[in-house]
Structure 1
Amino acid sequence: MHTDNATTCVISLDRLDPNQHGQLKYASAFVSEHIDDIRLENGTITITHHDPDGGDKIAAGVQRLIERFSKGDFGFKEHILFENRGTMPYRGDIIADLVEAKTIKVLEPGLFIFREPFSSLLRFFDDTFVQRIANAFGAKEESYPAVIHLSTLDKTNHFTSFPEHLHFLSHLRDDLDVIESFSESIRQSGGWKADAPLDLNRNMPKPRFAMNPSTCYHCYEGLQGESLEGDGIVATAVAKCHRYESKNHTDFGRLLDFSMREIIFVGKPEFVRESRLKAVEHLKTLAREWEIDCLIENANDPFFTNDFQVKASFQRNQEMKYEMRLTIPYINKSIACSSVNFHSTAFGTAFDIKIGKRPATTGCVGFGLERWVFAFLAQFGLNEEGWPVSFREQYRAWQSK
């Protein structure tokens, strides 16, 4: 964060429901590339920036977001399905400890290299979710690319719901002059520089792909045009996902590149609903076994666009999204580590997936693997002797295989 010659603007949040302050803070990071820091305090939002034009556009943008999130009287339905209180014996700054121990290497905010024991814990959590939950549904393992067609993302309405997350992919044009000119310019500059003269319009074609933001999209793409038999199918996959989140990458657990294990249900409405509720019960069992401080609650996606209130309220009122939130004691907050989602027939219709003569219903359970490890270590620390007995025994048994 820049501190020299910084300017701040302080905006009152009197018009905004306190429950939406966090959403406003998140969205405000995308108002301008000149923003350095955003803080919520005493009913205000404080924006620190280096806008050469004085910051009027930033203030106007934040006011626009306040208007977006405050208009209408929709109300947000709150429903806590489950709470588990753990001892949380460790209260230190786990990120600082992991960096000091060289267990993680921070490449930039939200982008890490993970070493032991973090890397082993990632595999342990993933294997456990497969063995204990995915296999209970008879899920079939699939493997997906890290990139996704823009036409596929269009079918999921990702462009109109989460445009800020997108990481587009392109390449140098199939043109010998362009390729050689680009290479020579880098050579003459003494290597790649942040301000390298890269003319995107001249050097690169329009992108056809983006980095995949969600594991389950590929599952629906793979079923496009198919008719399913019986009650439906269950698939599972782990994939690298990518979401650009601007200054929010400095928040605990908001990664630019992360691993998402999903269990995906596609079929009859009753089959998907029942499977979803069974998945919640499996999550409860693991939370109790591992003595994790957490809750499972009704939630909504952080929709970015003008219809935020309508979409978010619909999700909550229909209880289409549950989140399992694990406590991070040293910052006295919680983060969503798993979500249990019901999509109705939205994806079945978009991808022409049939069950009988009707569009298939879909749902999924997601596990953010890095978040699970971060949150577990935030509660119990790096010393294995401080871990819950049941977790420690399962982890060591897994290591000995």
Structure 2
Amino acid sequence: MECIVSLEHLAPSQHGQLKYAAAFIDETISDIRIESGRIHIVHESPKGNSAIEERVHKLIDRFSQGDFGFKENILFEHKADTPYEGDIIAELVDRKIIKVLEPGLFIFREPFSSLMRFFDYSFMTKVAGRFDGVKEEHYPAVIHSETLNKTNHFTSFPEHIHFLTHLREDLDIIESFSQSIRDAGGWKQDQKLDLNATMPTPKFTMNPSTCYHCYEGLQNETLEGDGLIVAAISKCHRFESRNHSDFGRLLDFSMREIIFVGKPDFVKENRLRAIEYLKELAVEWNVDSVLEIANDPFFTNDFQVKASFQRNQEMKYELRLTIPNLKKSIACSSVNFHSNTFGNAFNIKFGKRNAVTGCVGFGIERWTFAFLAQYGLDEAKWPASFREQYHAWQQKSL
């Protein structure tokens, strides 16, 4: 079945957000596209078109409330004549450089995996290394549910969360589970499990954002000086349904972050420095890119309030790299200011006041995909500065 709904009452700037959220309307949806001011949703829902249409209108109402224009606010733009216009994903798959396990879940092989390591090395040396006293930390890929609750992730981005649990510590349950798998001839995708009976409420989830562990590690501490700067990388996980078929939207990805925790002026000043370093990097590597004011894709009913506040206060900037083959861009880095949200949540203090925080994030896989989407795999066509730095790094790494 196909459900078609007019978008005449929704600003075109909101169409992308609607398309993203529509993937979560029903599990049977197989395709979503927006054409000529209408959204088309192909599905097999037993509830029929009327139920799908009702939920689409609910989302339209959510994203059209209030006077919120989403006007583009470009802070920086670097235009580059890039030589590659092919489908880089298809080429990488054809050459067996990446293996697609399912949409958004890849195995990366050489040279993609080397480029990922080089990008991370470059972000550490060219950006993080320019901040005095930066400390490097290493974080797990899982996070306490209680910690994630303090970040408001459960209420702002509930669709992202991958819960972790396990079989109860009960010999009968463990043996019964094992026997049921044997009887079925192995694990089945539609395996019937009584989750309430066999598994406890999840204590952990997969971590959706690197910086959360930084704040958890500083919980209830009183820090000295003006602030501290932490550099960390971790695997992050966000479930985004059929949106994982979009270019660069991964289920499992590597996020390098430089995190600022301290007094307001300390965080704001270092955030501005990070923006300048990002701009310099875009020019040095000659990537076709734009830096603009942005907002998080809040999923809940208070989307307009939260998104409007972020944009009006310029709390989030994104560096977006062009994907020539798709005639679109993707966010590869973000620069964020959280005010005292996390300082309050985790009781991190500087003197008698709660700390403010900010961060700059680098999506390692996204940078690699976007660079190759502009310049391809032929190193001779890469920008000279990038090629020279990459080869020098390779020699160091031998």
Normalised by the length of structure 1, the TM-score is: 0.97
Q: Deviations over 1:326-378 (max 9, x none)?
A: 00000000000000000000000010001111110100000000000000000
Out of 253, 257, 263, the residue aligned to residue 262 of structure 1 is 257
1:393 is the counterpart of 2:382: no
| Counterpart mapping for 1:246-395 below 5 A | 246-395=241-390
Distance 1:62 1:133 in 2: 42
- Report the residue type matching 1:35 in the other structure: I
Q: Which moved more, 1:55-64 or 1:122-131?
A: 55-64
Distance 1:16 1:298 in 2: 21
1:208 is the counterpart of 2:214: no
| Counterpart mapping for 1:233-252 below 5 A | 233-252=228-247
1:73 is the counterpart of 2:67: yes
Gaps of 5+ in 1: 1-6
- Report the residue type matching 1:61 in the other structure: R
Distance 1:78 1:331 in 2: 20
Distance 1:24 1:195 in 2: 30
- Report the residue type matching 1:85 in the other structure: K
1:184 is the counterpart of 2:159: no
Out of 17, 24, 43, the residue aligned to residue 18 of structure 2 is 24
1:88 is the counterpart of 2:88: no
Q: What is the count of residue pairs matched by the alignment?
A: 395
Please report how far the alpha carbon of residue 268 of structure 1 lies from its aligned counterpart in structure 2 after TM superposition.
Answer: 0.6
| Counterpart mapping for 1:97-112 below 5 A | 97-112=91-106
- Report the residue type matching 1:356 in the other structure: G
CA contact (8 A) 1:143 1:237 kept: yes
Distance 2:329 2:226 in 1: 36
Distance 2:334 2:199 in 1: 37
Query: Hey, what does 1:123 align to over in structure 2?
Result: 117
Out of 148, 151, 157, the residue aligned to residue 162 of structure 1 is 157
1:219 is the counterpart of 2:238: no
Please report how far the alpha carbon of residue 77 of structure 1 lies from its aligned counterpart in structure 2 after TM superposition.
Answer: 5.1
Query: Hey, what does 1:172 align to over in structure 2?
Result: 167
Please report how far the alpha carbon of residue 78 of structure 1 lies from its aligned counterpart in structure 2 after TM superposition.
Answer: 3.5
CA contact (8 A) 1:77 1:317 kept: no
CA contact (8 A) 1:122 1:369 kept: yes
The SS at the match of 2:127 is: helix
Please report how far the alpha carbon of residue 50 of structure 1 lies from its aligned counterpart in structure 2 after TM superposition.
Answer: 0.8
Distance 1:206 1:178 in 2: 16
Distance 2:64 2:286 in 1: 38
Pick closer, same or farther for the CA change 1:76–1:197 going to 2, 3 Å.
Answer: closer
Distance 2:36 2:380 in 1: 41
Distance 2:45 2:114 in 1: 43
Distance 2:47 2:344 in 1: 47
Gaps of 5+ in 2: none
Q: Deviations over 1:113-171 (max 9, x none)?
A: 00000000010000100111111113211011111011111111101100000000000
- Report the residue type matching 1:252 in the other structure: F
- Report the residue type matching 1:394 in the other structure: Q
Distance 2:290 2:69 in 1: 21
Out of 136, 142, 162, the residue aligned to residue 147 of structure 1 is 142
1:133 is the counterpart of 2:127: yes
Distance 2:304 2:175 in 1: 50
Distance 2:305 2:177 in 1: 47
1:232 is the counterpart of 2:213: no
Query: Hey, what does 1:3 align to over in structure 2?
Result: none
- Report the residue type matching 1:255 in the other structure: L
CA contact (8 A) 1:248 1:254 kept: yes
Identity score, percent: 71
- Report the residue type matching 2:124 in the other structure: V
Distance 1:19 1:70 in 2: 10
Distance 1:330 1:391 in 2: 21
Out of 33, 36, 40, the residue aligned to residue 39 of structure 1 is 33
Please report how far the alpha carbon of residue 75 of structure 1 lies from its aligned counterpart in structure 2 after TM superposition.
Answer: 3.2
